[in-house]
């Protein structure tokens, strides 16, 4: 059995000289992390790897590490501040922009956040915690409709400031997010 050395290529190692040194030191596989960067940047990295192969006389394999499933807020301008006790509606399947704010029957203001994946509204249940921004912000689900593409009403337990595309974690919920999404397929196609 023979071991392989896999090295992740990032900004510090993405040049021909450094890559050539890594190959001479024993790197067998160069890992390209598709969770970060764009396709143009990956193409330049691949060109650098191929040039380093020629320089070092060593040929290696490429490993395209796909991003995988992610629950994220959608895209929106600016920041949204959530304060403890406030109501917030998660608009599932709403990927771009902030949905319009609303009020409850009692006139209480309800803030809104876009959630890219429409299936989250079906998977959540009353009482479930929803963590945003690496767990810095915590919500509690008040109502969940059990249908895809709907609105989930929550109360803010621990507040903070949010910006677009922050991660969502639902620790007590089995989420039926597809293992391979459209972005993964695009990355795979690019990597091949």
Residues 101 and 139: beta-carbon distance below 8 Å: no
Domain ranges within the chain, ordered by starting residue? 6-68+187-191, 80-169
pLDDT tens for each residue of 12-34: 999 999 999 999 999 999 999 99
Classify each residue of 22-48 as buried b or exposed e, where b means 16 or more C-beta atoms within 10 Å of its C-beta. Answer: bbeeebbebbbebeeeeeeebeebbeb
In the numeric block, which tokens belong to residue 50? Answer: 């191929």
Confidence category of residue 101, pLDDT binned at 50, 70, 90: confident
């949010």: which residue's tokens? 162
Determine the pLDDT at residue 29. Answer: 97
pLDDT digits (tens, 9 = 90+) for 162-188: 999 999 999 989 888 888 888 899 999
- Residue 1: what pLDDT? 67
Q: What are phi and psi of 150, to 5 degrees?
A: -115, -175
The two tokens of residue 165 are 């595309």
The tens digit of pLDDT for each residue in 75-99 reads 999 999 999 999 999 999 998 888 8
Over residues 114-132, the mean pLDDT reads 96
Report the predicted TM-score, pTM, of the whole model to 2 decimal places. 0.73
Name the one residue in this structure whose structure tokens are 């193409």: 43
Gap between the Cα atoms of 120 and 73, Å rounded: 11
Q: What's the distance, CA 113 to chain centroid?
A: 16
The CATH class of 80-169 is mainly beta
154: tokens are 């929550």
Which residue from 109, 127, 137, 120 is spatially nearest to 74, judged by alpha carbons? Answer: 120
What backbone phi and psi angles, to 5 degrees, belong to 74? Answer: -75, -175
């Amino acid at each position: 059995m023979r071991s392989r050395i896999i090295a992740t290529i990032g900004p510090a190692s993405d040049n021909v000289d450094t890559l050539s040194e890594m190959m001479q030191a024993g790197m067998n596989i160069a890992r390209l992390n598709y969770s970060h960067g764009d396709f143009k940047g990956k193409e330049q990295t691949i060109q650098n790897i191929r040039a380093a192969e020629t320089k070092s006389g060593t040929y290696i394999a490429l490993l395209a590490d796909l991003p995988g499933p992610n629950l994220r807020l959608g895209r929106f301008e600016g920041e949204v501040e959530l304060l403890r006790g406030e109501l917030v509606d998660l608009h599932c399947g709403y990927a771009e922009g902030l949905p319009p704010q609303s009020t409850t029957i009692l006139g209480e203001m309800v803030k809104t956040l876009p959630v890219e994946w429409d299936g989250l509204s079906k998977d959540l249940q009353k009482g479930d915690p929803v963590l945003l921004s690496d767990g810095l912000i915590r919500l509690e689900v008040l109502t969940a409709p059990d249908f895809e593409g709907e609105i989930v009403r929550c109360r803010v337990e621990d507040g903070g400031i949010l910006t677009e595309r922050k991660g969502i974690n639902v620790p007590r919920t089995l989420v039926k997010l597809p293992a391979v999404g459209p972005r993964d397929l695009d990355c795979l196609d690019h990597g091949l």
